[in-house]
Amino acid sequence: MAEDSPKRRKANFNEAETEVLIEQVLKHEQLLFAAGPGRASAGQKRKVWELIRHKVNPVAACPRDVEDLKKRWRDLKRRDRSKLCRVSQGCGPPAPPALGLLLAPEELPPAAAPPA
């Protein structure tokens, strides 16, 4: 029979975990997210996510699995884009210099785009 204790959630990602995740996903971005005929197979992507997991877990507060990392990556992208949207509409404080870290240059507003 299952335990009666409620399921506990994992600890929040710490700064070191997030930094390693961003660094590794950006390093393997072409393999993970490329579209078109040259894109990686599901097996190749799974191996890359496993590699990322092995890089993140040594600095993790608790063991992370691939699904945890994918969800964190989606959340980071969503938060970054929502900040960008608020900034580009003139609401809120100006964009921090690292805002473009997760966004492609064409997604940045003209004021936040780095000089060519």
Tell me the pTM: 0.68
List the domain range (segments joined by +) for residue 78: 15-83
> Quick check: is 61 in a domain?
yes
The answer to whether the CB of 16 falls within 8 A of the CB of 55 is no
66 belongs to a structural domain: yes
Identify whether 96 is part of a domain: no
Whether 95 is in a domain gets the answer no
Secondary-structure percent of the chain, ordered helix, strand, coil, rounded to 5: 60, 0, 40
The predicted structure's pLDDT at residue 114? 54
Residue 67 lies in a domain: yes
Rounded Cα–Cα distance for residues 80 and 51 (Å): 24
Nearest residue to 55 (alpha-carbon basis) of 16, 11, 29: 16
What is the rounded end-to-end Cα distance, in angstroms, of the chain? 63
Look at the chain and report how many structural domains it folds into.
Answer: 1
Please list the alpha-helical segments (H only) found in 28-64.
29-33, 42-56
Q: Is residue 97 part of a domain?
A: no
Per-residue pLDDT of the chain (116 residues; tens, 9 = 90+): 455 678 888 899 999 999 999 999 999 999 999 888 888 999 999 999 999 999 999 999 899 999 999 999 999 999 888 876 777 776 555 545 554 556 556 655 565 545 55
111 in a structural domain: no
Euclidean distance between CA atoms 5 and 53, whole angstroms: 28
